[in-house]
Structure 1
């Protein structure tokens, strides 16, 4: 997986400048400290796709609609297995049976009557071979899927990239602390505190509707996702 690394640095200083009085919890005396923040960003190419696919069938009776839906879903699930989608990556996400009402208003103000039923069944699948995603989308439609809600992308080894981003953020903060100490004419002392403000490692998924082209695999662009880490370092100075 090719990654492109970019960095964004931010410096957070105490309100009174780099020199501040902070009480020592052990001795009760005041310590002079520099507090700095650093941010590191890593761009990664998504390698896992999550898709919601399903089958919607309408018929005059609920029983007939259910039977037809079950038949199409069985073909769809069999196709997913043939495509190499593991059972652990296939999960039912929704199932609904609902009445279908007459569209025309009945004379005398009577409520609309039921003239059929709709059955929908949807599964959430993960495609771990991202290069096969276009073909998977094409094949599930061919197998009977007539409902695709969207696609979300993620990075399987996101924590590895987050560790890289944290390392960059720490180096960024240390560089800033050294620069501030030098310009202020003080000597940078030992590091006394580190705080990680990165939060979750996985970026928010991107979503779009899948568009199929006749007689070809669905064209899909995964793009890139940015993972960002923020740290805060506290140094003593003399």
Structure 2
């Protein structure tokens, strides 16, 4: 049990006893949205050739995604970069070409479609898979529930302390501080090549937590 009680002067002329407790809560929800970071990397002797090849592969990937129902609004550029490539030998550097990297973020509402999107992007032109993120569209509503549960947890702790001390407790706190929130996710993803069936991507529950500190009077 986490709890700390102490003397607190609530009002200037009322020296009332008070105790402070921390309340915590964590709720688990299933994701209803997934974002995949997929990229196209090209290397050529000239920057023009690298850009041209990258653009072609990127367009091929986007067209392939369109064929399975993914719209332009679901595909966004996450980053785009062009870098020279050098060969280092005996303390000297020689320019040997250029690298172009275009990363896309693809967002899908149907989590079950994630494997199909992943496979389609990689067979359609992408050659780099960086990240998979599961989320909920409206995390705030779940956080509000966790916050409510955290306050109830604080009230339960305060009641336990008051009962232990055998003193009456005012169950409505006179001060509350929202301390922290946390949003974590666990998922499993496996890629087994460009098979006919979609890559199995299996999301687990998301964890949304809240914490408060509350002050209660007792007499």
- Do they fold alike, i.e. is TM over 0.5? yes
Q: What SS is found at the alignment partner of 2:102?
A: strand
RMSD: 2.5
What corresponds to 1:211 in structure 2? 191
Gaps of 5+ in 1: 1-9, 15-19
Structure 1 or 2: larger strand share? 2
Query: Which stretch of the first structure deviates more once superposed, 113-122 or 136-145?
Result: 113-122
**Residue 165 of structure 1, CA deviation:** 1.5
Q: Displaced runs of 4+ in structure 1, greater than 6 A?
A: none
Query: Which residue of structure 2 aligns with residue 3 of structure 1?
Result: none
Q: Deviations over 1:18-67 (max 9, x none)?
A: xx432233x43311112222211111222222221111122232222221
1:28 lines up with 2:13 in the alignment: yes
Distance 2:189 2:87 in 1: 30
Q: TM-score, normalised by structure 1?
A: 0.79
Q: Alignment partner of 2:203: what SS?
A: coil
Partner of 1:174: 155
Following the alignment from structure 2 to structure 1, what is the Cα–Cα distance between the partners of residues 13 and 2? 28
2:201 counterpart residue number: 220
TM-fit CA distance, 1:146: 0.3
Residues 127 and 210 (structure 1 numbering): CA distance in 2 closer, same or farther, change over 3 Å?
farther
Work out which of the residue numbers 40, 50, 56 in structure 2 matches 1:55: 40
Counterpart secondary structure, 2:197: coil
The total of aligned residue pairs comes to 217
Q: Which residue of 1 aligns with 2:55?
A: 70
C-alpha distance after superposition, 1:142-196 (max 9, x if no partner): 1110011121222222222212222222222212222221221211125212222
Change in CA separation of 1:190 and 1:147 when aligned onto 2, cut-off 3 Å: closer
Distance 2:167 2:91 in 1: 86
Change (3 A) 1:236 1:101: closer
Mapping 1:5-154, distance limit 5 Å:
10-14=1-5, 20-25=6-11, 27-102=12-87, 105=89, 109=90, 111-154=92-135
In the alignment, structure 1 residue 198 sits paired with structure 2 residue 185: no
Q: Distance in 1 between matches of 2:112 and 2:58?
A: 25
Q: 1:235 to 1:84 in 2, by over 3 A?
A: same
TM-score under structure 2 normalisation?
Answer: 0.85
Distance (Å, rounded) in 2 between the aligned partners of 1:66 and 1:89 = 23
